[in-house]
Amino acid sequence: MSKELTSRAEDYSQWYNDLVIKGGLADYSAVRGCMVIKPYGFALWENMRDQLDRMFKETGHVNAYFPLFVPKSLFEAEEKNAEGFAKECAVVTHYRLKGDPEKKGKLMVDPEAKLEEELVIRPTSEAIIWNTYKDWIQSYRDLPLLINQWANVVRWEMRTRLFLRTAEFLWQEGHTAHATKEEAIEETVKMLNVYAEFVETYMALPVIKGVKTANERFAGAEDTYCIEALMQDGKALQAGTSHFLGQNFAKAFEVQFLNKENKQEYVWATSWGVSTRLIGALIMAHSDDQGLIIPPRIAPQQVVIVPIYKGDESKPAIDAKANGIMTALKAKGIRVKYDNSDTSRPGWKFAQYELQGVPVRIAMGLRDMENNVVEVARRDTKEKSSVSMDGLADHISNLLEEIQDTIYQRALAFRNENIRPANSWNEFIQLLDEKAGFVSAHWDGTPETEEKIKELTKATIRCIPLDNKQEEGVCVLSGKPSTQRVLFARAY
């Protein structure tokens, strides 16, 4: 096949790009920092999105849609949030183009169509949403408000990478309002657990649940909870965040409610989000030098059937048999494709579906048919086996579950092998440089030390794991006393 891939050992970053582009997931666009999500990549996102959406609805949330634009005066209302995002805001200043009098056929911004107030393109929607909640919330009867939005957002990043960091990306953002602090914190943790369950069960990617340090918190949050995953190159990736926002936005937008005791109180808030970035995590966690490996539960195609014709006369018999298999698989809800196109040879197709990470490939030739078998190849282990056509659908259905589990267990073993304790600064540096992965180390709890460690090593505190063991120790850098270890890593 013509689409040669860079290997991970050769250049991990180029390997990743090759997989995204040659695997047909996404492409660069003419707009700086923005990508095109191609049909295969979008089908993957649809499967992820639909499952998350089901989980949000099962936990009592409803969807809504808020404006793309945030007037500057609203954007700046919650100061920390505004400060955190100001540097990466795309800003609309005009609402009209007109013919350029100096260049025929060209357009220019019409200087007479300048907006009185500039509009920020939402980098996140707390401001516009809390400004709306003000009108929706009067009494405790209006609470809780459990709303999610699927949307595009824009953060003007200087260095972009397909899926991992793009100027525009797709995400969901939940924004909830509660009568009490306890209930808001409960919601924050509940949604963190939903994310963890989704990423582990559907994306086959183990995560560590934890809390961010003050330095790494979402701008405007009181606490940021996160799930952290480990990539094959030993770098960590933040896969989702859930924020307890306290009363910060309620105060900034004057959102009060009449409580049961007939007193005005500020509302308590959460927000939580995951994005198309998850696709980047998926690729980097599971794939290999031959291409993508996609867990069956979210794979756009779970099975592909490739016929091995021997002369035109073999076609009708093989096609008929393949259609029977298709029907049986579809009846089990399996997403299956029959590729009998004559534009490429079986070997090319094999490589193509390997590159695209289709979990199971079934090949069927004349001799197979005579023996009442097909060849079944697993993408994850590359094992091939000859399987009887009798009960094939059941076999495939079980195999897909087995593949899902194998991919997860492999990632879990890798992740667990790559959490290492460091008890001195030398050990800390050595582990980061030689082994990468998570380094579990004592830290004195100050932002200054955290900042210093980042400067010296590029490693950040990924999280303080939930239910962390409390133990006496001394900070790896400052030597000051510490009560618990935290997880450091270099990260995407």
Shortest Å, Cβ 94 to its own copies: 4
| Residue with the two structure tokens 């009490």 | 180
Stretch that binds its own copies, among 145-153, 307-315, 380-388, 392-400 (CB under 8 A): 145-153
Q: Does 132 bind its own copies (CB under 8 A)?
A: yes
Shortest Å, Cβ 337 to its own copies: 12
Q: Which residues contact 130 (CB under 8 A, 6 or more apart)?
A: 78, 175, 249, 250, 252, 253, 255, 269
CA atoms within 13 A on the CB side of 112: 2
Q: Does 152 bind its own copies (CB under 8 A)?
A: yes
Q: Can you tell me which of 131, 356, 397, 449 binds its own copies, judged by CB under 8 A?
A: 131
Contact 196, 227 (CB under 8 A): yes
Q: How many CB atoms lie within 10 A of CB 318?
A: 20
Q: Does 283 bind its own copies (CB under 8 A)?
A: no
310 CA to centre of own chain:
44
Q: Which is nearer to its own copies, 19 or 489 (CB)?
A: 19
Distance (Å, rounded) from C-alpha 216 to C-alpha 224?
Answer: 8
Shortest Å, Cβ 277 to its own copies: 14
Shortest Å, Cβ 135 to its own copies: 7
Q: Can you tell me which of 51, 59, 165, 170 binds its own copies, judged by CB under 8 A?
A: 170
Q: Which is nearer to its own copies, 267 or 403 (CB)?
A: 267
Of 308, 255, 301, residue with least CA distance to 136: 255
Which amino acid makes up residue 149?
Answer: Q
Residue ranges in 329-348 that form contacts with its own copies under rule CB under 8 A = 343
Q: Which is nearer to its own copies, 90 or 387 (CB)?
A: 90
What is the C-alpha radius of gyration for the chain, rounded to an integer number of angstroms?
26
Contact 63, 148 (CB under 8 A): yes
Q: Does 118 bind its own copies (CB under 8 A)?
A: yes
Contact 142, 176 (CB under 8 A): no
Quick one: CA dihedral 67, 122, 202, 21, positive or negative? positive
**3-class secondary structure, 462:** strand
Q: Does 326 bind its own copies (CB under 8 A)?
A: no
Run of H or E residues at 40: helix 39-58
Phi/psi of residue 174, each to 5°?
Answer: -90, 140
Shortest Å, Cβ 100 to its own copies: 9
Q: Does 168 bind its own copies (CB under 8 A)?
A: yes
Span between the terminal Cα atoms of the chain, in Å: 31
Q: Can you tell me which of 2, 9, 65, 470 binds its own copies, judged by CB under 8 A?
A: 65
Q: Can you tell me which of 71, 174, 280, 357 binds its own copies, judged by CB under 8 A?
A: 71
Q: Can you tell me which of 7, 12, 76, 350 binds its own copies, judged by CB under 8 A?
A: 76
Shortest Å, Cβ 453 to its own copies: 29
Shortest Å, Cβ 312 to its own copies: 20
Distance (Å, rounded) from C-alpha 196 to C-alpha 435?
Answer: 25
**Parallel/antiparallel/unpaired status of strands 373-378 and 336-338:** unpaired
Shortest Å, Cβ 121 to its own copies: 7
How many residues bind to its own copies according to rule CB under 8 A? 67
Q: Does 391 bind its own copies (CB under 8 A)?
A: no
Contact 298, 202 (CB under 8 A): yes
Stretch that binds its own copies, among 37-45, 176-184, 194-202, 413-421 (CB under 8 A): 37-45
Binding mask 15-34 for its own copies (x = CB under 8 A): ------------x-xxx--x
Q: Can you tell me which of 20, 120, 191, 207 binds its own copies, judged by CB under 8 A?
A: 120
Distance (Å, rounded) from C-alpha 454 to C-alpha 465?
Answer: 19
Q: Can you tell me which of 15, 56, 75, 195 binds its own copies, judged by CB under 8 A?
A: 75
Alpha helices in 341-391 (DSSP H): 346-355, 366-370
| Residue with the two structure tokens 């094939």 | 392
Shortest Å, Cβ 428 to its own copies: 36
Stretch that binds its own copies, among 61-69, 195-203, 240-248, 468-476 (CB under 8 A): 61-69
β-bridge mates for residue 150, sequence order: 172
Q: Which residues bind its own copies (CB under 8 A)?
A: 27, 29-31, 34-39, 41-43, 45-46, 62-72, 74-76, 79, 82-83, 86-99, 105-107, 109, 118-121, 128, 131-132, 135, 141, 147, 151-152, 154, 156, 168, 170, 343
